[in-house]
Amino acid sequence: MRPTCLIVIPALNESATIAEVVACTRAAIDCPILVVSDASKDDTADRARAAGAEVLVLPTRLGAWGAIQTGLRWAWRQGYTQVLTLDADGQHPPEALPRLRERLAVSDVVIGTCPQRLSLAKRIAWAYFRMLTRLRVIDVTSGLRAYGESAISLLARPEASLLDYQDIGVLLLLSGQGLRLEELPVAMQPRQCGRSRVFSNWFQVSRYMIHTTVLCLARIKRRLPAGAPS
């Protein structure tokens, strides 16, 4: 019988951690794993394959959301009805994945939340965005998520490709279509290596704040036509 759930791990130059993340994920949950290498310049793809994951290699960099959406589209076309995502840097505990998956019985999207990992600046930013959007989500940037069939179908559509980031824009799109969002407290680990690619410098921070503010003001409320992703 074909599995219904797929693990998607977006990765950009994560050769130092990807093998361990894949191995720990395989030990935590019995689901196939797809690593989407976002045009990595190191041997991320080879190490992921050696650890037991299937790998898609993007020829050009699409960013974290582009890599995740590639995985969601692949999952949809392969007939999966659940997708679990986690980062490749070792921050997200794979042992939390079964709990997130269980909650898909009552929610369309489940987010692994760890507010303690947020700096004061991020807490202020998220409070500002919540005020604009009225989203009741504490940890809007967490990539530890579980998506049900309705969410996969929606996020695999071309309309969702215009989103630069996986956080507020995606959450607005999901909530605007009436999908049920839930947060589940999860203890996360410090990043093992590297740094945030969104908050790596003031230019990136400014770009993110402006871009996300525009999205928040737009509210992404229009209803999309029914149908499968193209």
Assign 144 a pLDDT band (cuts: 50, 70, 90). Answer: very high
Using alpha carbons, list the distances in angstroms from residue 42 to 11, 36, 172: 11, 14, 34
CATH number of the 5-218 domain? 3.90.550.10
- Give the dihedral of Cα atoms 25, 46, 50, 98; nearest 10 deg: 10
The per-residue pLDDT for 160 is 86
Q: What is the pTM of this model?
A: 0.86
Establish how many alpha carbons lie within 13 A of residue 33's alpha carbon, considering only the half-sphere containing its beta carbon: 30
The per-residue pLDDT for 140 is 82
Distance between CA atoms of residues 38 and 148, nearest Å: 24
List, for residues 2-28, the tens digit of each pLDDT value: 789 999 999 999 999 999 999 999 999
List, for residues 145-185, the tens digit of each pLDDT value: 999 999 999 999 988 886 655 578 888 889 889 999 999 99
Assign 220 a pLDDT band (cuts: 50, 70, 90). Answer: very low
List, for residues 180-212, the tens digit of each pLDDT value: 999 999 998 765 555 555 555 566 666 767 777
List, for residues 100-123, the tens digit of each pLDDT value: 999 999 999 999 998 676 667 777
Both tokens assigned to 166: 């996986």
The set of residues, in sequence order, having a beta carbon less than 8 Å from that of 221 and lying 6+ positions away, is: 176
Kindly state the average pLDDT of the residues 213-224.
Answer: 59
List, for residues 43-80, the tens digit of each pLDDT value: 999 999 999 999 999 999 999 899 999 999 999 999 99
Percent of the chain with pLDDT over 70: 80
Both tokens assigned to 33: 């794993």
The set of residues, in sequence order, having a beta carbon less than 8 Å from that of 214 and lying 6+ positions away, is: none
The per-residue pLDDT for 93 is 96
Kindly state the average pLDDT of the residues 92-98.
Answer: 97
Domain ranges of the chain: 5-218
Higher pLDDT, 50 or 213: 50
The per-residue pLDDT for 228 is 60
List, for residues 125-138, the tens digit of each pLDDT value: 777 777 777 788 88
The per-residue pLDDT for 176 is 87
